[in-house]
Chain A
Amino acid sequence: MELTKIDKDLLKSIADLHDIPEGAYNIRKDGKLVSRNTSANIDIVTKTDKPGIDIFIKDGTKNESLHIPVIVAQAGLHDLVYNDFHIGKDCDVTIVAGCGIACGSEKDSGHDGVHSFFVKENSRVTYVEKHYATGDGTGKRVLNPITNVELSKNSYMKMETVQMGGVTYSVRETNAILEDAAVLEISEKIMTNADDYAETKFNVDLNGKDSSTHVVSRAVAKENSKQVYISTINGNNKCYGHTECDAIIMDNANIVAKPEITAKVADASLIHEAAIGKIAGDQLIKLQTLGLTKKQAEEEIIKGFLK
């Protein structure tokens, strides 16, 4: 199957790819495999019991990357996929996933990706997930990603998720279990407009001694959109957990932030912060004194905030 111009634009938006990537990759379009490449250390195997792939990354794989973009261009398609990542010991890898939806009709299109990460001891994983939807159709663009993470002793994962407008409906769920000295950093950036609904649920169990997590969300809700942020951190051992939601609300938008922290032992140190507010007036004024209009000032502030 050939990639069209729209496909390539979507790939650029979700995976910073201008063409077929280097290294291992698996490109999926409209529920089918378009192209795949494996490397000496990274193997990709199609699942036989359900849609999706198993990815096996060998012990000691360093400085390699894996791209697994998904494109939904066919109207009315709701793609569902299960991807399991088996990451060996002592690895250092970057995984870029993303879903681009181009919806040009009145039919709804969507993608539900269930991604499970099994990270072995002492490995480092950077996981980048971008969501992007485009098209002038009236059909809903729906994305419901689920991410499950199991971090073994001393492993580290950094997860960056980005969703910048255009997605009509999304419920994102991330569940993580951390063993001793494991570290999970999550950074979420999300912008909604029109009548979009976006919900995010983070659930992190700090089971291991000296495990830690930082969950940081920066959100902008415009027009009539609604966002819900729920983050739950359970400190089940001597651990450190921090969750932060920083949101800018505009127009008639609606934002709910529910950080929940539970400490089950005295050595668990947990912090939650949540702040919702409109753009600070003095920031707007400062940029206006440099000659920007109020609208331009707003755009600059939001651009920086979600950078």
Chain B
Amino acid sequence: MLELKNICFSVRENGKTKDILKNINLKIEDDKFLVVTGPNGSGKSTLAKVIMGINKPTSGEIIFNGKDITKLSVTERAKLGISFAFQQPVKFKGITVKQMISLAAGKEISVVDACKYLSDVGLCARDYIDRDIDGSLSGGELKRIEIATIVARESELAVFDEPEAGIDLWSFNSLIKTFKNLKDKYQCGFMIISHQERILDIADEIVVLSAGEVKTKGTKQKVLSHLSEIYSTCSKLDDEEVK
């Protein structure tokens, strides 16, 4: 289980302090799907990066399985079983899909295993394993390979940042199946950042972030009514700005 206690994250911009996360308190339980949603720019990716250790919180504590990991590096957190699928997958010159999955798995994997992970994310493995993870892959392909690297890891906590973005409908069903299989296999906790109704449907708990704060959390029914409220105030604000 991962627990965030009073997490704040701010940056200095043009001599001013900008608060991006404001006093976040959350628990991500094992064997559960926690889905984080909220408007663009509300701080979802920043929150995921704080969990992975890419962003260091300005204040607050992160407790993972009873241990304070606030000061641990990205590598150390990865070794404890925290995984993170990027919203924008990183490209590499000269690293192939098979190599990347091997790095993720922590050992040289066989072609058969590589194929298994790739078919889990709806890719025909043979066409992909020897390709470089570079700009020659389409956005959706990169995104699925990113997800496959997380599937290949033995995660205790898997964080996915908008896994559905750019993925077509057929793959979407298998994506959800993949998440469920992963959960059954490792009983790991999930934090999935998403705007997709069908991902909200599998959530054990939904957290709504807005302007860096947890606006509401709970089951889908409870949260949905709040959601429309949040999005409508946002769009009202936008309308006013336009005027």
Contact = CB atoms under 8 A, between A and B. Distances in A.
A34 interface: no
B95 interface: yes
Contacts of A303: 94
Interface in B87-137: 90, 92-95, 99, 103-104, 106, 132
A289 interface: yes
Interface stretch (B30-38, B71-79, B203-211): B71-79
Given A294-B75, A300-B103, A304-B99, A289 B94 contact: no
B94 A285 contact: no
Interface string A273-296: 000000010110111111111100
B209 to A, nearest CB: 21
Given A300-B103, A304-B99, A289 B92 contact: no
A304 B95 CA distance: 5
Given A288-B78, A294-B75, A305 B153 contact: no
Nearest to B49: A285
Contacts of A294: 75
A285 B99 CA distance: 17
Interface residues of A, number: 21
A295 to B, nearest CB: 10
Contact of B94 (A280, A287, A291, A306): A306
B92 A293 contact: no
B126 to A, nearest CB: 21
B106 A291 contact: yes
Contact of A285 (B54, B83, B149): B54
Contact of B90 (A282, A291, A306, A307): A282
A301 interface: yes
Contacts of A293: 75
A102 B78 CA distance: 42
B179 interface: no
B93 A291 contact: no
A285 B92 CA distance: 12
Contact of B78 (A289, A300, A301, A306): A289
A237 B95 CA distance: 38
Nearest to A297: B75
A280 B93 CA distance: 11
A288 B74 contact: yes
Which DSSP category, helix, strand, loop or mixed, fits chain A's interface? helix
Given A285-B74, A291-B75, A305 B94 contact: yes
Given A283-B92, A304-B93, A304-B94, A290 B149 contact: yes
Interface of B is mostly: mixed
B62 to A, nearest CB: 15
A303 B94 CA distance: 8
Interface in B188-218: none
Contacts of B149: 290
A246 to B, nearest CB: 8
Interface in B25-78: 52, 54, 73-75, 78
**A283, A292, A304, most chain B CB atoms within 10 A:** A304
B172 interface: no
Contacts of A280: 90
Given A287-B103, A290-B149, A291-B106, A301 B92 contact: yes
A290 B92 contact: no
A262 B186 CA distance: 61
Nearest to B94: A304
A184 B153 CA distance: 44
Contacts of B54: 285, 289
Contacts of A306: 94
A304 B86 CA distance: 21
Contacts of A285: 54, 74, 90
B153 to A, nearest CB: 7
A246 B52 CA distance: 31
A290 B94 contact: no
B84 interface: yes
Given A289-B83, A292-B75, 5 more contacts: A283-B92, A290-B78, A290-B153, A292-B103, A304-B93
Interface of B: 52, 54, 73-75, 78-79, 83-84, 86, 90, 92-95, 99, 103-104, 106, 132, 149, 153
28 contacts: A246-B93, A280-B90, A283-B90, A285-B90, A287-B103, A288-B73, A288-B74, A288-B78, A289-B52, A289-B78, A289-B84, A290-B153, A291-B78, A291-B79, A291-B153, A292-B75, A292-B103, A293-B75, A294-B75, A300-B99, A301-B92, A301-B95, A303-B94, A304-B92, A304-B94, A304-B99, A306-B94, A307-B94
The 10 A-B pairs with the shortest beta carbon distances in the complex, nearest first, are A304-B94, A291-B78, A304-B95, A288-B74, A286-B90, A307-B94, A282-B90, A290-B104, A288-B75, A305-B94
